[in-house]
Structure 1
Amino acid sequence: MPDLKSTLNLLTTPFPMKGDLPRREPALVERWARLRIYERMRAAAAGRPPFILHDGPPYANGDIHIGHAVNKVLKDMVFKSRFFDGFDSQWIPGWDCHGMPIEHRIEQMNGRGLPTEQVQQLCREYALSQTQSQKKDFLRLGLLGDWDNAFRTMDFETEANEIRFLDRIRQRGLLFRGQKPVNWCVDCQSALAEAELEYANKRSTTAYVGQRVVDAADLAARFSLAIAPGRQARVVIWTTTPWTLPGNAAVGLDPQASYGLYDSPDGMLVMAAETGGKLLQSFGVEHELCAVAPGADLVGLVLKHPLRDVDVPVVAADFVSLETGTGLVHLAPAHGAEDFELCRGLGIAGDNVIDGAGRFVASLPAIGGMSLEEGSKAILETLKADGSLLRQERIEHSYPHCWRHKTPILFRSTTQWFIAMDHPATGDARTLRETAREAIRDVPFYPASGRSRMEAMIDGRPDWCVSRQRAWGVPLAFFVRRSDNSLHPETSRLIEEVARRVEREGISAWTRLSPADLGVDESEFEKLSDTLDVWFDSGSIHATVYRDPRRPDAHGHPADLYLEGSDQHRGWFGSSLMTGCAADGHAPFKAVLTHGFAVDGNGKKMSKSLGNTVSPQQVAGTRGAEIIRLWIASTDYSTDISVSEEILDRVVEMYRRIRNTIRFLLLNVSDFDAGADRVPVEYLESVDRHALARCRELAEQCRKGYRDYDFVAVTRLVHGYCADELGGFYLDVLKDRLYAGARDSRDRRSAQTALHVILENLLLLVAPILSFTAEEAWGVLHESSAGDDSVFLYTWDEAVPPVTDDPEAAEFWRHARQLRPSVMKAIEDVRSSGSIGRSGEASVVIEAPAEIVGSLSFLRAELASIFIVADVTLKEADKVDVKVRRTASLRCMRCWRHDASVHDDTDAEQGMLCDRCRTVLAGFPELSGA
C-alpha cells in the first residue's frame, strides 16, 4: 500500500498559531522605526487628498495610563484607516508641557523660593524626560505618526508663536484686563480655568442671617401696613459661604416672586412667601404671616450690612432660586461671578475679603489674617451674639475643587487678563460666543450627543481668564502703563521683538529681559509677570504648531478631525474652538469625535487606592499591545469603556479566531506564486468567485465602518467573516480541493487565487486595528519580513476583488446558503442516530418549489461540495424538505470522499481511489510504478 498521505498537499507556514505577542511586538516597533514607515507612507500618499488629525496633547507628567492608551490607539486607527482609504493621512503627536503640575513637582523636589529662571529650566528638563518616557510607551502600542517631529508646547518656536498668536487676538479687540471673580486655588496661588476644576462632595456650613432693615416703616409701607415705632425688621438671607459675608454689598431677590412679611417675637421678618412659613416652623420660631408683596415692590429697600456699619440695597436678581434658601441672597461681588456682573451693572463695588493664600485680608477688623476656617467661625459667633443668626446647618453638596490638589477652590476677585465672550471683535459684528455657535453649526459630532455638550459649553462659558500667576508658562509679554493700566502704544512691535528672543532662548528670555533692553521706560511701564493658561497653550496648537511654516507638515486649514475624551468639551475642544474663532473667525476642526473614560469591569472609575487599575504597560507585557488595540476597537467608545481581566480574556478569544483564520490562509497559499499561479477571474471556480464577491462586500462594509469611525462594526464584521463566512463555510468547502487536488491543477490554483486575494484584503482591513498581526502576516505572505515591504504602504483600492456575483449565480448562492443550515441539521440528526458517521457519507435529497430547484440547478454540480456530502438530488415539491440517507458510494482511501467512481476492484496496490485521486497519483511516478 503506497504512502497516500505523502501525496496530499500538507503545507507549512512560519506564521505560528500562538501569537507570542509580548515577545514579537517590540521587534516590529523597531522595524517600523528603522524603515521609517510613517515617512514612506507620506511619500506614497503624495498627491492624494489630505486628511489631517490634530493631536490633543497629553500632559508631560507621569506614566501613561489606560485612558491614554484608549485615546492614542483610537487616533492611530483613524490615521491608518484614512491612509488605507486613499488619503494623505497626517498625524503629528505632541505634548502639553507648561503649567502647575510640573511646577509643583519641581517645588516638591527642590523646595520653594528658587529663582524663576531656575524653576523654568528645571521644569523644562523634567518635562523633556517625561515626554521621552511616554513616547516609548506610546510606540509600544503600535502607534505610527510623525514622532520624530513631535511637538512640545515648550518648544522655543511654539512658545514664540503663542506670544504672537495672543497678540492677534488682542488686535481683534477681544483681550482685556479687568478685575473679576475667578476660580482661585490657594495651593496653586493662581487662577484656574473651568477645565481645571473637578467637582466633589464638600461639607459646608450654611447660615440663615437676618439683615436689619434701616427704615422699618418704609418696609411696612411696601406691604401696605403700618408698624409700631421702634419695631425692628430683618430681611433673612441664606448663604452657603458665610466667609463671604464681610464682602456683602447688596441683597438680591426675585422680582417676579411673592415675599411674605412675618411677625415674630424678635421682630418682623421678610422671606419668600412660598417657603418662609415652612422654614420658620423648622427653625422653631413662632410666626404669623402679616402680608404678601411682589418682590419688585421691595427693590430699593435699604439694609444694614450684617457685620459693619454701612448700608446695602435690595436689588432685583433674576438668578435667585426659590428651590433652596429664603428667596433672598446676599451679594458679594468680589466672590461670585453672577454677583459681580449684577453689581457692576448697578454701579455697586465690592472688595476682596480673602487674599491669595486663603486668609482674611489684614484690613478686616477682628478677623484680619485669620484662616478661612477660623474667620468663618468668628463671623458666625458675631452674628449669633447680636441675634442676626437665625440658624446654621451643615450640608454636603457638590463643589468645585482644584484638579491638581483636590482642594476646594475659592471665588475671589483679582486683576487678570480675559478673552471676551460677548464683545464684538474688531471688524466683525459678531461676539466670540456668536462666532463659536455658528462655527460648529455644520460640524459633525461622533457621537451626535457631543454637539449639545459643546453648545452648552459655549452658552455657559464666562469670559475666559487666560492669565496665571506662575513661573512655568508662556508669558503675557506686555508692558502696561503704571498710571492707567493701558498697554504700551507700540505693543505689536514689542511683541515681535520678544517673540524673536523667545525663539532663540525660550520663555526665560522674557524672565531675564529688562524693559530698557527694548527701549521701554520702566518708570512709566510695568513688565507683566503673568503667564498664560495651559489650556491656551494646547488650544492654540492649530496655529502655533500646525501653521508654523518651519514644520514639514505645516498647513493653513482646519483639521479634518479632533479626537479626545468626553471631558474635553470644556477642555481642549472648547479652548481650541475659542482660540480659532477669536483669531480666525472659524473653528480649527471639521469634525469632532469624543470617547468615554476607561472604567473597571463594574463600571467604576479606576483608582490605585481601590486596586482596580489596568496598566497598559502590564497588559502589553503579558498579553500584547494587540489585545489592547482589539479591546479598544471592539468596545463602544461613545460611552465609558470597561476593562478587566475577564473582558480581556474574551478579547483574546476573539483575537485567536482571527489569527487562526489568517494562519489557515497563509498555510494554504504557502506554495502559491501570485505572479505565476494566479487564475484569471473569468476562469475561477464558481464558489471561488462567490467567495471573492463576499470578500468585496466585507471590504465595502468595513470601509464604511472606518469612515464612520465605527470600529465596533469593523471588528464585528471581521470576526463574523472569519468565524462564519470563512470558518463556517468557504474554508470548509475548500479543504478537499486544497489538500487532495493536484498541486498545480486549475481548480486548486483557483482556490488559492481566491485565498490570496482574501488574505491580502483581510490583512489590509484589519491593519488599522491589528497592526502587529497584519504586519507579521504580510511579511510571511510576501516573504518580506527581512526586507523593507510593509502592509502600511498599500491601500484598500489596490486589493479589492473586482468580482460580484452575476444575477443567476447570486440567486443560486442565495438559495444554497439559505438551505445549508437545514441540510447540516438533517445530516446531524441522521448522524446522531448512528446511520452515518460523517457528512461525507450522506446522500441528500432536497425537495423544494420549482423556483428554488431551478435556481439550484444553475450550479447543480457544486451542491455536493457546498454541503460536503457524497451527492445531492433535487426534486420539485410544494415546500422545502431535506432527506438524508447513507450513500451507496465507496470512500476513496486518499481523499476520504464517497464518490461513485470508487470501486472495490480498484488496483490493490494503490487501494480504492476515486477518479480524481487516481489522476493525481499519476503525477507521482514513484507510486504509479512508471
Structure 2
Amino acid sequence: MCADTSAPPAVQSDNADAADYRDTVFLPETEFPMRAGLPQREPEWLARWARLRIYDQLRANAAGRRPFILHDGPPYANGHLHIGHALNKVLKDIVTRSQQMMGRDARYVPGWDCHGLPIEWKIEEQYRARGQDKDAVDMIEFRQECRAFAAGWVDTQRAEFERLGVIGNWADPYLTMNFHAESVIAAEFMKLVMNGSLYQGSKPVMWSPVEKTALAEAEVEYHDHTSHQVWVRFPVIEAARVLAPLVSRSSPGVPIVDDRMNLQDALVRNNVSVVIWTTTPWTIPQNRAVAYNPEIDYAVLRVNAVTEGSTAKVGEQLLVASSQIEDIARAAKIERYEIGEAFKGDLLSNILLSHPYRGLDGGSREWDFPVPLLPGDHVTEDAGTGFVHTAPSHGEDDYQMGLRHGLPMTHNVGPDGSYRGDLPVFGGQAILTPEGKEGPANVSNIKALAGQGALLAKGKVKHSYPHSWRSKAPVIFRNTPQWFAAIDKPLDDGMGEYGQTIRARALASIDELVKWTPRTGRNRIHSMVENRPDWVLSRQRAWGVPLTCFTRANARPDAPNFLLRDEAVNARIREAFAIHGADVWYTEGFKDRMLEGLHDPAEWDQVMDVLDVWFDSGSTHAFVLRDRADGAPDGIADLYLEGTDQHRGWFQSSLLQACATQGRAPYRGVLTHGFTLDEKGMKMSKSLGNTIVPAKVIEQYGADILRLWVAQADYTADQRIGPEILKGTADSYRRLRNTLRFLLGALADFDEAERVEPAQMPELERWVLHRLAQLDAEVSQGFEAYDFQGVFQSLFNFATSDLSAFWFDIRKDALYCDAPGSLRRRAVRTVLDAVFRRLTLWLAPILPFTAEDVWLSRWPSDTDSVHLHDFPPTPADWRNDALAARWDMVRRARRVVTAALEVKRSDKTIGASLEAAPVVHVEDPDMFAVLENVDFADMCITSDLTLTPAPAPEGAFLLADVLGVGVIFALAEGQKCQRCWQILPDVGSHAHPGVCARCDEALTALGR
C-alpha cells in the first residue's frame, strides 16, 4: 500500500537478490504535463476552436433549446483592455458557457460603443498635435476619421477579448456605428418625438468648457478639488408689504422685534445683512434669490470685536442659522459677539435683499434689483450659513427654485466657460480655461465683493467636485438650450401596463420585473431613478447619431407645433440611415430631400446636435435583442452584467430608453460587479505604477490563471489583484492540475468492460458517487445563481481534499497493486471515470483551455471538444446521506490516526505509515460499529490496525476536536512485501518470493 499522496512509489527491495516486480505495478500513465505552459499552448486551442467553428456548432446543437441571452454592455473602442475589462468579460463568459452546458441555447453577441466624446477626443488630440483646427475640417471627413479610429480599436480589442478565451459571435459583433444600428438609434429617438416626451428646454446642465459640450451624470467623475469659498453679505431692504409675525425682545443693541415692531422693520432699521456661503464665487453675478428653510432656527449675530485681518465690522449685525454661528465667527475672525433670540425661518417670507453688486462701479445698473428671500426645502444646516445663494442658471436646486418662483434665467456664460463679452465688469473672463485650469473669474468676483463691502470672509476648501471623465477637467453647471426626455410626462403610446410615465415604468420594472444580483443593486438604482431629473439627450459634438428632428423656424420651444411630427418623414430618415449611415444627415440638401412633397423645407430648421452616447448604448436592445436572428425572441435579455458604476450608466440608460419606447425594462436580470484594486486595496493608476495589464498576466501565466482569479474573487465587492495574489492563484491552479493529471494517469486504457455497477462497489466508492451527486446540485445551483466563487470553491475542495488527500491517497494501493480484474480496482476505475467526466466538464466554463487539454488528453479527436458537451446527468440514487454520515465518522477517526502517525514520522520512529500497526480506542459505540465494518487499516494506510471500544489509556494520542478517539502507536509485525510495501506476517510464504498473499494472487493472474 502506498502512503505517498503526490506520486507513486518506486518499487524497491531490501534484498538485492529479490525478484523485481516493478513491471507488475500499474503506475499511472499519461503524457499530460505537470507544467501547463499556458502562455504558449493557449493560442493553439484558440486556433483549434476557430477551425472547428465551436460557437457555430453550439448554436446548431442547441437548436430548439430555451434561449439564454446575456446582452453585452459595449465597451468603448478606444484603447487596449484594462483589468476591469478582463474581469467583466470573463464573468460574462463563465455565465454563457455554464448556461449552455446546463442545457440552454446561450447566445452571446459582443458589441462596441463607437460614438461619443472618448473617440472624438482622440481625433482632436491628433489634430492638436498637428496644429490643425478641427472646426476647419469638413464634418463628414471628421466623422469618417472617428469611424476609422473606432474600427481599428474594435479589431484590436476583439483579439484581446478572444485571447481571454471568451466565446461568442466574434465574426458578427454589434457596433453602434453600423448603418443598421444608427438607423435604429435614430428610430428610437424619433419615438420620443412622436410620443411627446421630447422637449427643448433651457436649464442648467453639467458642462465641460474643455470639450464644449453638455455631459450626462454617467460621464462625470467626482474627485477632490480645492475651491474658493466666500461668505457674502446681502443687506435687508424694504419689502413690498408689512409683515405681521412678532418675536420678543432680546439683549440690548441686538435688533429683535417686540410687539411694536415687526421683524422686517427691525432687520431694515438695524442694517442687518443675510449671509450666504458659496464655493462658486463666479456665480454671484447670476444670483437672483437667496433661499432659506422655514424649519431652521435663525438668529442675529452682533459683532463686538474682531481679530487682525478680519473683514467683519464691529457693530454690524448678521442674520444666520443659529447652529452655524460658531463656525461663521471663526471663519470671519470675529472674536466677540452677541446673539439675539432665535426664531423659525417661516418668519422670513416676503423679505427682500440688496444684490451685493448693487451700485457696482462700471456695473451699468446690471444688478440694481431686489433679491427675494425664498423658502426652500433643499437648504440644510450641514454646512454654510443656513442661507443658499441661488443662481437659477447654474444648479439643479437653483433651477427648480426659479421655476417655482418665476425667477429669471441668465445667459452670462458661454460654451468656452467664459462670461459673455458684454457682461459689465467681468465680461470675457474665463471661469475655466480651455485647458481645464481655473480662470480669473473667481478671483475677480472676490475682489469685487470686497470692494463692495459685501465680503464677510474668504478661504479655500477641499471637497468632492464633478470632473469630466474624459478630459479629467472640472465641469460647471451652465444654462444652455438642450433637448430633454421628460420622464414624468404621461405618454399616450398604448404601453401603460407598468405606468404612463418613463419614471413610473422604470420604477415598476425595477421592483416587479428584474432580479438584481446582488440584491443591493435594486436599492441603488431605485433611488437614482426615483430622484433623477429629466434626461439631457443633446450633445454639442460631431461624432454620434444626430437628433433626427426638425423644428419650426422662428418658433418658441413651447409652441404647440414646434417639433415636426410626421411618420412619413421619420420613415425616410430611417431608410436613408440604413443605406448611408448617420453621416447622410450632414450632406447638403438632406433636409430638403426628407421634407420634399410633405412639408415646406423653408419652414423648418434641422437640429444639428448629436445624441448622448448613453442613448446609443441604451438603444442596443432594439437593434441587437429585437432585430438580430441571434437576439432574444421577445426582445428582452435574461441578463445584463456590468460594473456597479453602470447603475447610473448603461443599466439606467437602457432602462429609461426601453421604458420610453417599449414600456418596460429590456432585461430580466442584472448582475453587478465591483472595481479592481491593487493588493493594498488602492485604486489602480498609471501614476502610482500599480496597474495590472491583462496582456502581461497572460504573457506570464496564461489566460486560465486570470480567469481563475476572477472565479475565486467575490465579484459583488471590489476585487484585489497583484503579483502576490496571482502567485496564490497560480498555486491553486497547480494543485487542481495535479488532481486532473492523476485522474488521467489512473484511467489509462480504461475499458468499458471494467465498469462496475454501484451496488457491487465498496462503500468508499459509493461515498465518492454520493459526493458527485451532492456536487451536481451545488454546481448547478451555483451557476444558476452566478455564484462562481462558490462553485469553484466546492470543486477545488472536492479535488484537493476529498480526492487527492483522501480517496486517491487510500486507493492508490488498489490501483497500483490489485489484480486488473479485481472488483475493488474495477470499482475504483469506474468511479474515477465518473469523477473525470464531471470534474472536467464542471471546470470547463471557468478554465476552458485547461479543460480542453485534459479532455483531449484522454480522448484525442480532430473534431471533438469539451465545450461541445453538456454537464452530464447524475443518477439520483447516487445520493446516500446515511452512507455519507457513516463515512463522516470514518474520516474523523482517520484524522486522529494520521495525526498520530505524523508525530512518529517527524521524530523518525517510522519512515512511512505502512510501518505502523496502531491500536485505536473508539468510545462512541456508533463510530466503533462503523469502523468495524470497513478495512480501517486500509483507510489509514497502515499495514495493520487494532480497534477497541476501551477508553484511551493515559499517553494515547488525542485530537481536541475528535472526542472519544485515542491512538496508541505500535510497529507492524512481519516482513515488507517487495511489491506493495505492506509489512505482513505472511510475506515470503507464497509461491512468488517476497510478497504477500494479495500480491501473490495478482502475480498469478498476470501470468508471472
TM-score (norm 1): 0.94
Most deviating of 122-131 and 556-565: 556-565
Give runs of aligned pairs for residues 221-620 of structure 1, distance below 5 A: 224=257, 225=261, 232-263=271-302, 265=314, 268-276=317-325, 279-280=328-329, 282-284=331-333, 288-289=338-339, 292-307=342-357, 308-372=367-431, 373-426=439-492, 428=496, 430-442=500-512, 443-482=514-553, 483-485=555-557, 486-512=561-587, 513-518=589-594, 519=596, 520-548=599-627, 550-620=628-698
Q: Of 102, 108, 117, which residue of structure 1 is paired with 2:125?
A: 108
Letter in 2 for 1:436: A
Cα distance in 1 for residues equivalent to 2:272 and 2:890: 92
Give the one of 935, 940, 944 matched to 1:867: 940
- How many pairs were matched up? 916
Question: How far apart, in 1, do the equivalents of 2:801 and 2:268 lie?
Answer: 93
Q: How far did residue 803 of structure 1 move? A: 5.0
Work out the CA distance in 2 between the residues paired with 1:88 and 1:740. Answer: 46
Partner Cα separation in structure 1 for residue 707 and residue 881 of structure 2: 40
Structure 1 unaligned segments of length 5 or more: list them. Answer: none
Alignment of 1:688-703 (within 5 A): 688-703=765-780
Aligned to 1:40: 57
Contact persistence 1:681–1:803 (CA under 8 A): no
Q: Report the alpha carbon displacement of residue 381 of structure 1 after superposing the two structures with TM.
A: 2.0
2:713 equivalent to 1:635: yes
Structure 1 residue 282, shift from structure 2 partner: 4.6
User: Which of the residues 44, 67, 71 maps onto 1:54?
Assistant: 71
Q: 1:898: Cα distance to partner?
A: 2.9
For residues 522 and 268 of structure 1, do their structure 2 counterparts lie closer, same or farther at Cα, with a shift above 3 Å needed? farther
Give the drift of 1:163.
1.0
Secondary structure of the 1:148 match is coil
Which residue of the partner structure matches residue 178 of structure 1?
201
Give the whole-Å Cα distance in 2 for the aligned partners of 1:686 and 1:467: 71
Distance 1:805 1:900 in 2: 40
SS at match of 1:886: coil
- Cα 1:592–1:695 shift into 2, 3 Å: same
Shift of 1:252: 1.1
How far apart are the structure 2 equivalents of 1:300 and 1:246? 22
The answer to whether the Cα contact below 8 Å between 1:216 and 1:232 also exists between their aligned partners in 2 is no
How has the CA–CA distance of structure 1 residues 83 and 807 changed in structure 2, closer, same or farther, with 3 Å as cutoff?
A: closer
- What's 2:976 paired with? 891
Matched position secondary structure for 1:795: coil
Equivalent residues in 2 for 1:669-688, closer than 5 Å: 669-673=747-751, 675-688=752-765
Kindly state the Cα deviation for residue 46 of structure 1 after the two structures are TM-superposed. 2.3
In 1: Cα distance, 2:685 partner to 2:30 partner: 44
Aligned to 1:666: 744
Q: Deviations over 1:715-751 (max 9, x none)?
A: 2222211221111111111111211223344432221
Tell which deviates more after alignment, 874-883 or 469-478: 874-883
Per the alignment, do residues 738 and 802 of structure 1 end up closer, same or farther by CA in structure 2, a change over 3 Å counting? Answer: farther
Q: Would the alpha carbon gap of residues 793 and 304 (structure 1) be closer, same or farther in structure 2, given more than 3 Å must change?
A: same
Give the conservation status (yes or no) of the 8 Å contact 1:478–1:487: no
Q: Distance in 2 between matches of 1:554 and 1:259?
A: 60
Normalised TM-score (structure 2)? 0.87
Is 1:758 matched up with 2:758? no
For residue 214 of structure 2, the aligned residue among 173, 177, 191 is 191
Contact 1:843 1:886 in 2 (8 A): yes
Q: Tell me, which stretches of 5 or more residues in structure 2 are unaligned?
A: 1-17, 246-255, 304-313, 358-366, 432-438, 952-963
- For each residue in 1:52-92, what CA deviation from the matched residue of structure 2 results, as whole angstroms up to 9, or x when unmatched? 11111111110001110001101111111111222221221
Whether the 8 Å CA contact 1:846–1:872 is kept in 2: the answer is yes
Matched, 1:168 2:168: no
User: What is residue 779 of structure 1 aligned with on the other side?
Assistant: 856
* 1:561–1:590 CA contact under 8 A, matched in 2: yes
Give the letter for the 2:1000 counterpart: R
How has the CA–CA distance of structure 1 residues 234 and 805 changed in structure 2, closer, same or farther, with 3 Å as cutoff?
Answer: closer
Amino acid at match of 2:769: L
Give the C-alpha shift of residue 841 in structure 1: 2.7
Match of 2:1003 in 1: 921
State which of 854, 858, 862 in structure 1 corresponds to 2:929. 854
Give the Cα–Cα distance (whole angstroms) in 2 for the partners of residues 169 and 86 of structure 1: 39
Q: 1:561 to 1:413 in 2, by over 3 A?
A: same
- Aligned equivalent of 2:248: none
Structure-2 separation of matches of 1:421 and 1:541: 20
Opposite residue 503 of structure 2, the aligned amino acid is R
1:800-849 CA deviation, whole Å, 9 max, x = no partner? Answer: 36553657644542322221111212333455565543222322443434
Instruction: Name the CA distance, whole Å, in 1 between partners of 2:384 and 2:292.
Output: 11
Residues 123-152 of structure 1 show CA distances to partners (whole Å, capped at 9, x for unaligned) of: 111101001100111111111112122111
1:811 touches 1:855 (CA, 8 Å); kept in 2?
no
* Aligned CA distance change for structure 1 residues 895 and 238 (closer, same or farther; 3 Å): same
Residue 293 of structure 1 and its aligned partner are, at CA, apart by 4.1
- Shifted more, 341-350 versus 612-621: the winner is 341-350
Hey, what's the Cα distance between the residues in 1 that align with 2:78 and 2:569? Answer: 33
Answer whether contact 1:244 1:353 (CA < 8 A) is retained.
no
Range 141-150 or range 295-304, more displaced: 295-304
State how far apart, in whole Å, the 1-side matches of 2:590 and 2:113 are: 28
CA contact (8 A) 2:28 2:742 kept: no
> 1:453-508: per-residue Cα shift (whole Å, max 9, x none)?
11221123111101111110111100111223444544322122111111111110
Larger mean CA deviation between 364-373 and 256-265 belongs to: 256-265
Query: 1:403-451, CA deviations, whole angstroms, 9 ceiling, x for partnerless residues?
Result: 1111110101111111222222225454322322221114332222222
Report SS of the residue matched to 1:313: strand
Instruction: Flag the 1:805–1:251 CA change in 2: closer, same or farther, 3 A.
Output: closer
Kindly report the root-mean-square deviation, in angstroms, between the aligned alpha carbons of the 2 structures.
2.4
Residues 446-455 or 496-505, more deviating: 446-455
Q: Distance in 1 between matches of 2:884 and 2:209?
A: 73
Q: Which residue of 1 aligns with 2:105?
A: 88
Q: What's the CA shift for 1:271?
A: 2.3
Give the conservation status (yes or no) of the 8 Å contact 2:190–2:549. Answer: no
Which piece of structure 1 moves more, 587-596 or 757-766?
A: 587-596
Residues 916 and 277 of structure 1: CA distance in aligned 2, closer, same or farther (over 3 Å): closer
Aligned-partner SS, 1:356: coil
